[in-house]
Amino acid sequence: MNKLLILDRDGVINQDSDAYIKSLAEWIPVPGAIAAIARLSRAGWTVAVATNQSGLARGYYDLATLEAMHAHLRQLVAEQGGEVGLIVHCPHGPDDGCDCRKPHPGMLKQIAEHYAADLAGVWFVGDSSGDLEAALAVDCQPILVKTGKGERTLAQGLPAGTLLFDDLAAVADHLLQQE
């Protein structure tokens, strides 16, 4: 499959918070992000999501709340004529030893398996170093956006080959002008 794009959630699609995104009310789209997903989807891109959600393991919110956020995301994109593909989340905490929590690439592998896709060169857009490391672990193209924790991540230095964009809208502009 070509035209597969994988996104991190917090800090890329919606605003992030060091206090976690604990409720639907706290789930606020990054300006231009919903339109970016809809534009890509309408142009034939499959847009999947891979998100750490340790707030579940920490008891900050429950699965129903997380699902409500994702139903809202899907609704907002649908209202602009697009659709969101598979959303995979890691519910575990940092000490649970799972293989799905980024920087482990388990969620990216899950997405590839779902779409019978080869991950080599697939863009994975994130705002944290764990996103970039997960991408590199499975030969995805690491993409950093400056929203969310992106500026902090940038200040720490980026893995070689990482591409930098202001936000998801700029990523969509780039991919769509390539067509």
Ligand X SMILES: O=P(O)(O)OC[C@@H](O)[C@H]1O[C@@H](OP(=O)(O)O)[C@@H](O)[C@@H](O)[C@@H]1O
Active site residues: 8, 10
Q: Based on the shown chain and the rule CB under 6 A, indicate whether residue 147 belongs to the binding site for ligand X.
A: no
Stretch 75-94: interaction string toward ligand X, x if CB under 6 A: -------------------x
Stretch 34-73: interaction string toward Zn ion, x if CB under 5 A: ----------------------------------------
Helix, strand, or coil (residue 88): strand
Q: Based on the shown chain and the rule CB under 5 A, indicate whether residue 167 belongs to the binding site for Mg ion.
A: no
Helix, strand, or coil (residue 51): strand
CA–CA separation, 39 vs 169, rounded Å?
9
Which one of residues 29, 127, 136, 140 is an interface residue with Mg ion (CB under 5 A)?
A: 127
Shortest gap between Cβ of 90 and Zn ion (angstroms)?
Answer: 3
Q: Based on the shown chain and the rule CB under 5 A, indicate whether residue 92 belongs to the binding site for Zn ion.
A: yes
The residue (of 43 and 63) whose beta carbon lies closer to ligand X is: 63
- Residue 52 host element (H or E): strand 46-52
Shortest gap between Cβ of 137 and ligand X (angstroms)?
Answer: 15
Give the type of residue at 177. Answer: Q
Which one of residues 98, 117, 164, 176 is an interface residue with Zn ion (CB under 5 A)?
A: 98
The verdict on whether omega for the bond into residue 31 sits within 30 degrees of 0, i.e. cis, is no
- Are the beta carbons of 178 and 152 closer than 8 angstroms? no
CA-to-CA dists, residue 123 to 91, 98, 118, 139, 160, angstroms: 23, 23, 12, 10, 15
Confirm whether residue 90 is marked as ligand binding.
yes
CA–CA separation, 19 vs 159, rounded Å?
27
- CA geometry: angle 159, 115, 162, nearest 5 deg: 10
Q: Which stretch binds ligand X (CB under 6 A): 14-22, 26-34, 68-76, 116-124?
A: 14-22
Shortest gap between Cβ of 178 and ligand X (angstroms)?
Answer: 26
Confirm whether residue 140 is marked as ligand binding.
no
Binding site for ligand X (CB under 6 A): 8-11, 16-18, 20-21, 51-55, 94, 128
